[in-house]
Chain A
Amino acid sequence: MKQQDDLKADFRGKGVITGIAIAKVRKIEEDLSKYMARYHADSLEQEIAKIHASFQNVSVSLSENVQNLKAKGMEEQAAIMEAHRVMAQDPLLLQNALSKVETNHSAPCAVLEATEEAAAMFENIPDAYFRERAVDIRDVGKSIVRDILGIKTGSYAGQEAVILCGNEIEPSVIANIPTEQIAGVLLGQGSTTCHAVIIAKARAIPTIVGIEAELTHISDGDKLIINGETGEVFINPQPDIEAFYRQKLQAQLALKEYYERLKYLPAETTDGRRVKLAANISTHLDVEAAIKNFGAEGVGLFRSEFLLKTALFC
């Protein structure tokens, strides 16, 4: 068996959520252009009707998402999707799309232009949090365009867990995939406060960001190993590398299982001394997971400086 030092990663990003993942990669198709090129517009009336219908369809499917996420107790993700739903019902966005279709006669182009305009407006806001909402509005716009173009967002049910990879992964994409279907997350962009990272963090999915320059080296379906602790990424690894990381992954899973069995036991020493089990948390959002997943009874270290940073999702 090789030592870890011998195993040179193909490249390294910034590891933000620790853990090993070994799985096939699913590249998130952000590029709608090939579908757009094939699109044939109908009459102006029909294009207008398509815009109305797709705004409606997307807002209905988003409210279903919100209900599903709430039913699973995923309040944080539900709040993000709720904001998306309100965006899909935004009168200004709809009006803007309708006025653009008058000139370009293509429903998907009109929607893309209208959302791009809104996103550009956000990008001019000095506050980083507001700037990042540009991702959300583009996400909503793309969902509407996909609906117009009839692109199915593939079902993930019953499939092997995958590593999701994209420059930016839209929050709706990640929020809609059940946790057990996502082995890891690889993001090209480097933000650690974007919604995709926040959602991954809430689900403890190994995540690496800031690999934009390397994105082209990864193809859909490649087998990847990612190490969320060190930021290392291996593409189609040699068997010895995979064996090494499989072993680490096994140990990680075994440890998780072991801890899971212990979480509701009282924190007591063998001679009967009761101690308080406390969790180190970054934000108030971690409290629920600390209690539910780890059986914490209190907080040890609280990263109170995060309260001063406004860039976190509310």
Chain B
Amino acid sequence: MKQAKRKTVVAELLERKCPMLEKEVLIANKTGLHARPASMFVQTANKFHSKIVLKTAQKEVDAKSILSILSLGLTKGSSVILQVEGDDEEAAMQSLTDLIASKFGEAE
């Protein structure tokens, strides 16, 4: 497979035809993806090699960048598409969806 040089993560993901994991997730914790949950999310994402992207109707961002995640302004009740692609994509998808489902350990 030809690998285009110096493409952004997002452009590369869009271009590739190979399968990737995709899941729509609901941000249900009361504060949304604010600083603390976003930093937990990034730290979890960084444990994996896979490329991980968060996608809303407006934009797509690198999920390993806290600034990008915070820039989405995801408040409680927002839904977002999580795309994972790479050799450890299944484990990454599992960990990240578990983290979101756990509401980042926040109290109700």
Shortest CB distance A89–B (Å): 8
Task: Decide: A86 and B43 in contact? CB cutoff 8 A.
Answer: yes
Q: How many A-B Cβ pairs are below 8 Å?
A: 74
Smallest CB gap from A91: residue in B? B65
Residues 29-70 (chain B) with a chain A CB within 8 angstroms: 29-32, 34-39, 42-43, 62, 64-68, 70
Task: Decide: B68 and A127 in contact? CB cutoff 8 A.
Answer: no
Chain B residues with CB below 8 A from A313, complex form: 34-36
Shortest CB distance B77–A (Å): 11
Known: A86-B42, A91-B65, A122-B70. A133 touches B35 (CB 8 A): yes
Residues 60-90 (chain A) with a chain B CB within 8 angstroms: 79-80, 82-83, 85-87, 90
A contact face: mostly helix, strand, loop, or mixed: helix
Known: A86-B39, A86-B43, A284-B107. A310 touches B70 (CB 8 A): no
Partner of B67, one of A82, A92, A129, A310: A92
Chain B interface residue count, CB cutoff 8 Å, equals 25
Partner of A314, one of B35, B64, B67: B35
Chain A interface residue count, CB cutoff 8 Å, equals 28
Residues in B lying within 8 Å of A, measured CB to CB? 29-32, 34-39, 42-43, 62, 64-68, 70-71, 73, 75-76, 106-107
Residues in A lying within 8 Å of B, measured CB to CB? 79-80, 82-83, 85-87, 90-93, 118, 121-122, 125-127, 129-130, 133, 136-137, 284, 307, 310, 312-314
